[in-house]
Every structure is written in C-alpha cells, then in structure tokens.
Structure 1
C-alpha cells in the first residue's frame, strides 16, 4: 500500500538561501516522502533540476501570480525563500493557501524568509545600541516599526496565520556569510555567495581601500549559510511533526544568528586581506563619502540601513526547537579572505 507524499512548493531554488535549503530537503532522511516543485526563470536550470535532482521545475517568474497561486494551492508546505518585500507575491501565495484550506480542510505550512534588516535603526555607523530583539518576546517582535524593511510582508503573513487558514513561520536571517559548495552550486543551478560582505568587498576593490559607513560602530548579527539553512529544516521538521507545539504566526518569528560584529571589524578584515595582497598599504577602513554611498550602494538610505545600522538579535526560538549553529563571528571574519579572492578572480 503506497503512502501519499507530502507536496512541497519552493521559491528561490537558484538563490543562495533557496539552493541551500532545497539541497537539504533532497538529502533529508524523509526525502522519499517529499514531492517537491520549484519555480525557476531558466528553462535550462529547470532541465537540470528535473534530470539530475528529480525535482519538478516550473518555468516562470514572480510576476506570474496566477501560476504561483495555483502551485501553492497544490502544496501542503510552501518555502518562500527570496524577495521578502514583494507584497503582490506574498498575497498570491496566501490566496493559494486560503484556497487549499477551503477546498481540502488542510492547514498548509508556510516557511517564509524575512531578515534582521527589519530591526535596523538609523545609527549610520556612529554608535551601538543596547536594544536586542529576542524572538521569544512576542510583544517585542510585535513592536517592530511597521514601515521597516520586510515588515509589511511579515505582518500580512502573521495576520493570515491569525485568520486560521495557514500555519506561518518566518525565518529572519542576519548577515549571512560563507561560500556555498553544495551539489546545486556545482551543477550551476544555485548562487554560491551572499550580499552584504561581497558588496563591501566590491566597493573596497574599486576604491583600493576598505570603507565603512560612519565610524563602523554599529552592530549586526551574523550566521553561516549552512547554519541558517539548518534553521529552516529545524523549523520544517518541527512544524510537520508537531505543529501545535511549534511557534507560528506572531509566535513564529525565528531569528537566525550565531554571533555579532561591528561593521568596522568586517571592513578591517577586508583591509588586512588587501595589505596581504599588496592592494593597499594600510588595513584601516575609511568612511564612505556621501557620493560613495550612492555610487556603491545605489542610495544613502540603503547604505545606512544595511551597512550602517544596528540590528541586534537573540534567536532563542529556533534553539528551543533544537537548532544548533556551529559557526561563530570568528569564523565569519576568517571567511573574508576567501570571499575577497573569489571576487578578485571574477573581476579578471
């Protein structure tokens, strides 16, 4: 007698986070019980996913809202891993989940990616704050500025959970680091590098000196790509195995962090690599000028939010489920030479 498989729909399979989560689902002890569908833009990558990894791949974009709604309606579990600010997209996903609940009485599971950028203040690199957000403190998580990055989507998801047609879990990665090396990267499907540190490295390579926003005094949390991918699977396992005991909705925010750093420390580490490679004679970072903030980060607002803010977090909710991150801030700083080398090679 055959057992029905769990239908899973995943967005972002070609991305840094999405690929890392997908490969863990493919290697999961219960992988044979999963029926995984992904949405990708590239027909070539879709063929690789189907032929080499046994994943059903649908070609489309995040603007194909009707297609996404239909795919979600056919899934018990949805991993939405890229683009935490697309309101139209999350509304399509929620419509699909509402339809599934109405049609089958199923209570579908949503695991969504937000980010600790939602906690960012306006320090502009000038000071460190004492405010630390604890994901077990529901009232504190509810108090986050409604106009913060990612927050409009987070609120829509939490409210959908409160309406009772979805069990929603929101993972908030911090600064993610480490170069992914898994099978999907080797197959040319998924991106292997993050955003924030590489962006600082590219700016430093152009100006031949590491830079920082203000004095680099503000603090962010960090997490290795392998650790944060494990957090998604920890939440998934708990939600499937024991949904009533797994925090969801307003009690379902999972901060992904395993240490914290100042932005000065990151830029100084880049500077030391530059000295070692003869690019610069001084490892000390210098403040970006207003013109450089626009040149390198597209706008002063984005630079202040992503590289000059404080975003302090304590991820106790995931740890309570059994998540055990292995990497530390020291590992993050030690990973920077590899990222500098990789980006230098790409510029050749």
Structure 2
C-alpha cells in the first residue's frame, strides 16, 4: 500500500503525463480525469486510476478534488469552470478537516509586455518577489483564472495549500512522443511554408524549460507544500520554472531554420518576419502574445528548494528529438488554436 498521498490529476497530456510518471515513481496513488476509452486503458496500464469526464464535468471534478489529498491541474491555463470546480472541492475537503494541496498550471504569457519584439526587455520577474507578479494587469493572459484562484486562496486561508506554477517556453519530447506548443508550432510553420520565421521584430526574449525538468519542478512544489505549514505556503503562491536559458524569438527562428535546412526541408535557413496574413498558421490573433513579446523570469524559489535543471538544451532537443517527430507527421498543419485568445 502506498505511503504517499492520493492525487487527482486533471490533464494527463504533455505536461500531465510527465508529472504522472514522477508521481507514480514516488508511490503516489493517482486518479486521472480522462476523456477517451483508449487513453483510459493506457493510463491504467501505467498504474493510474481513471475517471471518465471532461473539463466541463464540474461535479466529477469537485467530487474528486474533495476526496484527494492533492489536486494538480495541468490541462490548460484558461478554463475557469474546471478551476472553479476544483476550488469547490477544496472547500469541501477543508470542511472535512483536511488540509488539501492544489497546484495549478498558469503560464508566462501572464507576464508578457507589449514590445511587439522591438527590443529585449530588461524587466525580469522573480518569484520570490510576489508583489511584482501581483501587479500585472487583470486582463493579462491567464490572469482571470489566476485571480479566481488567488481570491479563493484568500478566502480559504491556510487550511488549503494552493500554489500556481508559471512555466516559460516548454520544450522537449514528452511521454508518448508528445510535443509542446510554441517552438513546434513555429517549426511546423517553417516546414509548411519553406522558411523559418518570427512574429513582430523578433528581439523579445523568453525563458525555457524542458518538460522533464518542469515535471520535477512540480514535484518540488508538491514536496514543499507537504512539508511546509499552511501559513508558510500562504506567503507566496507563485513558482516560476526556468532552466537559465533565455532566447529571442529571432534566435529561435535561426535555429529552426538551421535544423530544417539540414533536414532538407528549408532551402534558405535565414529567418524572416512572418506577415500577419500568415498568422493563421501560427496562433492566429494570439501570435504576438505566444511568440512575439518579452517574458523574462527567475525561478528563485525552486532553486532555493534544491531543484536543478538537468535535461539537454532547447536547440539540442529540437534537432535531436522533436524535429524527427515533426518530419514524420502527415496531413496539413493549420496552426494552433489558442484557448481564450492568449
């Protein structure tokens, strides 16, 4: 029998499967929310329990969040009803005398600027200075959901341990050969259009993290919550997870062009600006927010807790692991639909 707590995992996808692997390796009892029978069988073969439902299944989410010791939401940063259901479940758990843990996935789109890539910003957010993150605009990407969590966190107080994880650009080959969003979308664009490109002027900078390092970051946040008091966790909800690499979107386009050129799919590796009329093959109206603005941050809190990145670099991962998967893909790529337009 497991000596670890019970976990309700919402979103066993690119991030979630990697987190699930870490949880199972450490002996947690994990129940995942799953939509399809095929995925249900695979997850159960891995050792997880499953419950069939979607992000719209509020009663199911509330019930399982109330029953679990730990809830981790990795499905999306932009679905308020599922988060509201989790928060209701936490309230029920607290009424039962438990001190539940909730780790929510937001994202570093929340801290983008409006540079349109004209420059690399010198503004760097640090997660051991929560007041700077609290000061971002209420209408920033992901912020509506984060604010709902912060409001509930204040209402429930130290009786629940609630944290928000904000990943930067995530890269790496995940479980079941799954890929992330930003760099793969730009790469698929290059493979389709025959050139590597960037949105805006390309000078804006984002941090990076490999999905496996990110998953270990979630585990570090979890262990901190398990060991710290409710009062200690209440002091700061935010955790960045970056590996120390920062690249401009122009540099990313250069590396995509180089890798695609070496693969024989792009004749000229020199990147160029992607015109707005082609953004439909990127992130549509959300293209500047996803791949054109500055978003710089430091994971000071995780490093203080002993977390260290150990996976390969962004561009080694692109050329060695991710590009081969994309080269084998069939069908026409038509961009990535951004939830909530952010």
Return the TM-score normalized by structure 1.
0.89
Within 5 A, what are the aligned runs for 1:292-303?
A: 292-293=278-279, 295-300=280-285, 302-303=286-287
On the 8 A contact 1:6/1:76 being kept in 2, the answer is yes
User: Do 1:177 and 1:225's aligned partners in 2 also have CA atoms closer than 8 Å?
Assistant: yes
Say yes or no: does 1:204 pair with 2:190.
yes
Partner of 1:333: 315
Distance 1:291 1:252, change over 3 A: same
Q: Distance in 1 between matches of 2:181 and 2:90?
A: 31
Q: Distance in 1 between matches of 2:70 and 2:150?
A: 16
1:1-348 to 2 correspondences below 5 Å: 6-13=5-12, 15-28=13-26, 31=27, 34-50=28-44, 52-102=45-95, 104-163=96-155, 164=157, 165-181=159-175, 185=176, 192-244=178-230, 247-248=233-234, 251-258=236-243, 259-293=245-279, 295-300=280-285, 302-327=286-311, 331-338=313-320, 339-347=322-330
Q: Note the C-alpha offset of 1:254.
A: 0.3
Return the offset for 1:277: 2.5
SS at match of 1:39: strand
User: Does the 8 Å contact 2:283/2:290 carry over to 1?
Assistant: no
Give the whole-Å Cα distance in 2 for the aligned partners of 1:323 and 1:8: 21
- RMSD of equivalent CA atoms: 1.8
Contact residue 117 and residue 305 of structure 1 kept, 8 A: yes
Q: Gaps (5+ residues) in structure 1?
A: 186-190
The structural deviation recorded for 1:78 is 0.5
What is the alpha-carbon distance in structure 2 between the residues aligned to residue 3 and residue 216 of structure 1? 49
Separation of aligned partners in 2, 1:219 and 1:240: 34
Q: Partners in 2 of 1:84 and 1:3 — Cα distance?
A: 30
Aligned to 2:336: none
- Relative distance call for 1:25 and 1:344 in structure 2 (3 A) is same
| Unpaired segments ≥5 residues, structure 2 | 332-342
In structure 2, what is the Cα distance between the partners aligned to 1:162 and 1:115? 21
Q: Secondary structure at the match of 1:209?
A: coil
CA distance in 2, matches of 1:194, 1:168: 25
> Aligned equivalents of 1:281 and 1:54: distance in 2?
46
Assess if the C-alpha contact under 8 Å between 1:238 and 1:246 holds in 2. Answer: no
Contact 2:160–2:230 (CA<8 Å) still a contact in 1?
Answer: no
CA distance in 2, matches of 1:58, 1:218: 42
Aligned twin of 1:188: none
Residue 37 of structure 1 and its aligned partner are, at CA, apart by: 1.0
The Cα shift of 1:298 comes to 4.4
Equivalent pair of 1:231/1:256 in contact (CA under 8 Å): yes
Question: Structure 1 47/316 Cα, relative in aligned 2: closer, same or farther at 3 Å?
Answer: same
Q: Deviations over 1:204-238 (max 9, x none)?
A: 11110101112210000000111111000011111
Distance 2:56 2:3 in 1: 31
* 1:3–1:192 CA distance, 2 compared to 1 (3 A): closer
Aligned equivalents of 1:117 and 1:3: distance in 2? Answer: 37
Deviations for 1:78-116, whole angstroms, at most 9, x for unmatched residues? 0111111111111111001101111x1112110111111
Distance 2:214 2:42 in 1: 25
Q: In the aligned structure 2, how far is the partner of 1:123 from the partner of 1:223? A: 23
